Amino acid sequence: MRRYLLGRLLLAVPLLLALATLLFMLVELAPGDPADLLISPGMTNEVREQVRTNLGLDEPAPVRYLRWIAAAATGDLGFSHSRGVSVRVALAQSLPNTLLLTGVSLVLAFALGVGVGIVQAVRQSSWIDSVLNLFVLTFYSLPSFWLGVILILVFSYGAQSVWEWPIHFPASGATSVGYDLMGPGERIVDRVRHLILPVGTLVLVMGAGVARYARSALLEVIREDYVRAARARGLGRARVLFRHALPNALLPLITVFGLYLPVLFSGAVFVETVFAWPGMGRLMVDAVASRDFPLVLGGSLVFAVLVVVGNLVADLLYAWADPRVRYG
Amino acid sequence: MSSLLRVADLTVSFPDRHGRAPVVQGVQLSLEAGEILALVGESGSGKTVTALSLVRLLPPGATVAPESVVEIGGIRVLGPGATPARHLRGGTVGVVFQEGSGALNPVRRIGEQLREVVVRHRGVAGAEAGREVVRLLEEVGLPEPSRVASSFPHQLSGGMRQRVLIALALAGDPRLLVADEPTSALDARVQLRILALIRELTRTRGLGTLLITHDLGVVAHTSDRVAVMYAGRVLEEGRADQLLRSPGHPYTRGLLAALPSGRQRKAPLASMPGRMPPPGLRGAGCVFRDRCSQERPRCREEPDWVSLGETGGRVRCWLALEAEG
């Protein structure tokens, strides 16, 4: 198992290198010159060239590529001209917020999805199954940015200004304006209140997908002979479901977990933009808009590392859940 | 004296295109403690459905006719006035599943799977349940029972897994053992050992064992009595030695003639012409008459049981009545 893990980690190195190269080429091919956004129209060509030289853009692309790769290997991702800080600092400010948003969403989406899938599989073809299916398919089909806007409209704007409900949620940001002046208890409440709508958006969209997989995985497993055999031994319904069927149905869901990580991060980009969440997603969108190439590259690289690590975690989970993988 | 198992007028039907078709019709069986009854028949003869109805594990859609009766140890578990038996499945009746059918959960340890049945039916827990698990694995002849208990199914051989499946059937301390093709997936040498184990357990535990098989070799090795099923009915039953030596029903004779024999290696195997009629197309009269070489006009009527001699053998065939005079 340790050997296997080490092998996987070593394999991640050329993978990330290839990815970095591809990203660099993509950014290089993108239209627009960063310098154009930093100077005003009235400035002379000389000033423009000076700005380009300062940004290191006067050198040919292959040279810049090698410089960037060499620096990135040592952990130096360059300077973000749009933020005025190093890329590392910019990422370090945003990454915790994104990890909080996606981590909470991932856990809740799987909990909700598996729960709904279990109910649907146990009550297959009943009205409960049909009603849940309607909801699942609806949320599965909705784009997360649209759902986010609707949630803001209803639970933030509508709840506060139109219907005047006792409860409403903030539409943007990770904390309120007066966060620094709050006590520790108030801070937690404020954080949670800000999390609810963006997390709700991601959980509804992703949970619907998980529910579809969970339902079909469980239905497949319920037909297996060991489930029938467990019933023939007189075990109760709950025991057969939770101790015999579910542990086997988890195996395909772990694969889904690995496949969903990129979906989660790209979904987070949209959701962070809609909810003005100060995370990686919004950082990236801003970076692209301002042609801040070092920041675009650094952010993409961080996303790539997250996906690779997430898949490694999925592999570990698989070994944990299936003794046939563990003992080969 | 009442039998350990009594099945009377068992009729089970399944939905088909034209409504409901009986898959098992009017089956009668009885079984004493310490006895092995082989239920023999080809695929689709209804032998597995008969066995599953003993533990009420029929697939959804199956309906049991109201006159059907199943009594185990004098307690009615199916039919008019049946009492809901709390420990029927896995307790009173242990089912031995076929190795290779996936009756063992692949992601749980053998010991855990045994333990939950012990806890469910014996009312023991903790270390005592653990000791009972090891004792059961010993009883079915597994060496190093503690190691087996902590293994996963894929770490054991086919023969060992079949022994584990027998231990699982015994874990609830049953009075009746139903073994559904317990050796079909095993090679011949292991097969004989498993059959010997089932015979030994039947004697030492005083179980009644219903052995479902399509293999007449298995019958000859193991069983005391035999019931031959065809197209949902029992056509002949009797003592195993008697029935295999001098079969009374043309179908049984055909089955025995189709066995390869050691003496005539080169001779082509005998076969029966025709096919078993599917459920729903089994008209009135003897179900075997379409394939019978000795069909009489009388065979359009349903034949009744005819006793054969003193040994308790009986057969459902008009020919036997003729032979008797």
A136-150, B59-73, B277-291: the lowest-pLDDT one: B277-291
Q: Report CB contact under 8 Å: B89, A231.
A: yes
Residue A135's alpha-carbon distances to A142, A293, B157, in angstroms, are 11, 41, 47
A102-116, A159-173, B61-75: the lowest-pLDDT one: A159-173
Mean pLDDT of chain B: 88
Chain B residues close to A247, C-beta within 8 Å: 105, 107-108
- Maximum average pLDDT range among A201-210, B55-64, B185-194, B209-218: A201-210
Q: Report CB contact under 8 Å: B102, A327.
A: no
Determine the Cα angle at A228 with ends A209 and B103, to 5°: 100
Distant-in-sequence, close-in-space partners of A150: CB < 8 Å, separation ≥ 6: none
The separation between the first and the last C-alpha atoms of chain A, rounded to the nearest angstrom, is 10
Mutate to test the interface with A, among B55, B116, B166 (most CBs of A within 10 A): B116
pLDDT digits (tens, 9 = 90+) for B305-319: 888 877 778 999 888
Nearest to B57 among A224, A232, A327 (CB): A232
Q: Report CB contact under 8 Å: B152, A247.
A: no
Report the alpha-carbon distance of residue B80 to residue B73 in Å, rounded. 16
Query: What's the pTM?
Result: 0.83
Question: Which residues of chain B have a Cβ shorter than 8 Å from any chain A Cβ?
Answer: 55, 57, 87-91, 94-95, 97, 101-109, 116-117, 120-121, 152, 154-155, 168-169, 171-172
**Secondary structure letter of residue A22 according to DSSP:** H
Residue B111, both tokens: 């010991």
- Which DSSP string do the residues of B176-213 spell out, in sequence order? EEEEESTTTTS-HHHHHHHHHHHHHHHHHHT-EEEEEE
Identify any residues that bridge with B69 across adjacent strands, giving them in sequence order: B8
pLDDT digits (tens, 9 = 90+) for A286-308: 998 888 888 999 999 998 888 88
pLDDT score, position B263 = 61
Q: Report CB contact under 8 Å: B108, A243.
A: yes
pLDDT tier, B255 (very low <50, low <70, confident <90, very high otherwise): confident
pLDDT score, position B175 = 93
Instruction: Using a pLDDT cut of 70, give the percent of chain B over it.
Output: 96
Instruction: Using a pLDDT cut of 90, give the percent of chain B over it.
Output: 47
Chain A residues close to B155, C-beta within 8 Å: 327
Chain B residues close to A244, C-beta within 8 Å: 105, 108
Helix crossing, B158-170 with B110-122: angle to 10°?
10
Taking Cα atoms as reference points, which of A264, A250, A267 lies closest to residue A318?
A250
AA letter at A53: T
Taking Cα atoms as reference points, which of B168, B175, B178, B170 lies closest to residue B148?
B168
Instruction: Using a pLDDT cut of 90, give the percent of chain A over it.
Output: 46
pLDDT score, position B261 = 67
Chain A residues close to B168, C-beta within 8 Å: 229, 233
pLDDT tier, B325 (very low <50, low <70, confident <90, very high otherwise): low
Nearest to B168 among A233, A244, A327 (CB): A233
Give the residue on B whose Cα is nearest the Cα of A236: B120
pLDDT digits (tens, 9 = 90+) for A111-163: 999 999 999 999 999 999 999 999 999 999 999 899 999 999 999 888 888 88
pLDDT digits (tens, 9 = 90+) for B99-111: 777 899 999 999 9
Taking Cα atoms as reference points, which of B80, B28, B121 lies closest to residue B314?
B28
Q: Report CB contact under 8 Å: A232, B106.
A: no
